[in-house]
Amino acid sequence: MAITFTSSSVMFSSPSPKPYFGSLTKTTPFLGFSISVANPKPSCSRQSFRVNCQEKALVVPLDQRWMFEESEVNGPDIWNKTWYPKAADHINTEKTWYVVDATDKILGRLASTIANHIRGKNLATYTPSVDMGAFVIVWFVVLESEKVNAEKVAVSGKKRTQKLYRRHSGRPGGMKVETFDQLQQRIPERIIEHAVRGMLPKGRLGRALFNHLKVYKGPDHPHEAQKPVDLPIRDKRIQLQR
């Protein structure tokens, strides 16, 4: 973009305010010629001055322009340089599928790892407001013995008897409360789902991300066509040390 100024002449004429200093001519014997000295008495006069603009062209660099050229209106966005994922960057059919065995793994540490991969925080293209993550399949072995079954998903301390899960039917007095042990014997999948859901964002995006979690009893699942790979677990503290 180039802005061209044509030659012009502008005359400004206005009554000048009272100046603080006038000018007097005084001759000094030391220099041999007259000099102007300040006059302490203000004087009032009308001043006029002329501004002449020579013909010149101003060229603005491309990275310092403040508006588009006419030919760039329908072109690519050259102003917003921050990368933001497009629809083609997060297609569900092209996302990675992971599978993890939750047997003898700490519930909270496992849930945080799953939530990070569902959100896509392990990717360089992670964007908080976009579904960039992968799908995670969680499975665990369920045996007939209740004593063995209760020890599959590990928790620390006395959480098996003190950790409570609440749900409400929506009617007065419809609050239902059960312990970790009771819920694991009734619906063991809900424990992992509850832990992961609490680590996902709340709102429309969080509800969409929660659909990326698949929890099953046993290693058999209907997602063999997606060719899931093992979930990378870097934290060695996830596995329960017996």
d(CA 20, CA 26): 19
pLDDT score of 171: 97
At how many degrees (to 10) do helices 189-197 and 107-119 cross?
60
pLDDT digits (tens, 9 = 90+) for 62-106: 666 766 677 777 777 767 778 899 999 999 999 999 999 999 999
Closest CA to 181 of 169, 163, 198: 163
Number of residues written out for the chain: 242
Closest CA to 142 of 93, 180, 108, 101: 101
| pLDDT cut 70: percent of the chain above it | 67
More confident residue, 114 or 146: 114
Beta carbons of 190 and 109 less than 8 angstroms apart? no
pLDDT score of 147: 39
More confident residue, 182 or 67: 182
More confident residue, 73 or 53: 73
pLDDT digits (tens, 9 = 90+) for 14-33: 455 554 444 445 555 544 54
Q: How far is CA 59 from the centre of its chain?
A: 37
d(CA 17, CA 14): 9
With b for 16 or more beta-carbon neighbours within 10 A and e for fewer, the 153-162 pattern comes to bbbeeeebee
pLDDT score of 194: 97
Beta carbons of 139 and 219 less than 8 angstroms apart? yes
pLDDT score of 146: 43
pLDDT score of 41: 54
End-to-end CA distance of the chain: give it in Å, rounded.
72
Q: What is the pTM of this model?
A: 0.67
pLDDT digits (tens, 9 = 90+) for 104-144: 999 999 999 999 999 999 999 999 999 999 999 999 876 55
